[in-house]
Amino acid sequence: MRKPAVYLETSVIGYAMARPSRDLVVAARQQITRDWFALRAAACELFVSQLVATEASGGDADAARERAAFLQGIARLRVTDAAGELAARLVERGAVPRTAPEDALHIAVAAVHGVDYLLTWNCKHIANATMREAIECACREAGYEPPIICTPEELMDDQQDR
């Protein structure tokens, strides 16, 4: 049986590697993300893109080095012309706001490469139930099956509870 392919959007890397937060919601997401990597990641084929690597390289230099080290060994999907075209379509169709072209590109890279899941904590522009139908429609109109967009919490394997 093939492992599900999972594209890790930058917010997941950020939550996995960030110093513990005092904000309760952020702290909970950090713990869920770390649990996902500890309990579930090995059962998946993980992918990032150069866009993830570039975004993860920003901010505090020490933290950026830690994120870069974390990304080592995770396969990179190419940001192709087809992904760029699909990202533009996502923005043109209003599936992703014009102010968030990078978010459209994350979705497009995952769709163009046939990834099963796009894992993200970006619930504003990516894992947003009100935008999901438009995202899926734009992908399918372009000839791509959209990835299932979800948070690490949604992609936890319930086998550990049995």
Cβ atoms of 76 and 49 within 8 Å: the answer is yes
Residue 75: inside a domain: yes
**Number of structural domains found in the chain:** 1
Domain that holds residue 63: 5-154
Q: Please tell me the distance from the alpha carbon of residue 47 to that of residue 39, in angstroms, as a whole number.
A: 17
Query: Do the domain assignments include residue 160?
Result: no
> What does the pLDDT read at residue 132?
95
**Interatomic CA distance for residues 130 and 132, integer angstroms:** 6
The verdict on residue 159 lying in a domain is no
Q: Which two tokens stand for residue 42?
A: 């090995």
Task: Spell out the per-residue pLDDT of the chain, length 162, in tens.
Answer: 889 999 999 999 999 999 999 999 999 999 999 999 999 999 999 999 999 999 999 999 999 999 999 999 999 999 999 999 999 999 999 999 999 999 999 999 999 999 999 999 999 999 999 999 999 999 999 999 999 999 999 998 665 443
Question: What is the reported pTM?
Answer: 0.94
Q: Which CATH number characterizes residue 82's domain?
A: 3.40.50.1010
Secondary structure string (H, E, C) spanning 67-121: HHHHHCCCEEECCCHHHHHHHHHHHHCCCCCCCCHHHHHHHHHHHHCCCCEEECC
Distance between CA 86 and CA 93 in Å, rounded?
10
Residue 161 lies in a domain: no
pLDDT of res. 1? 82
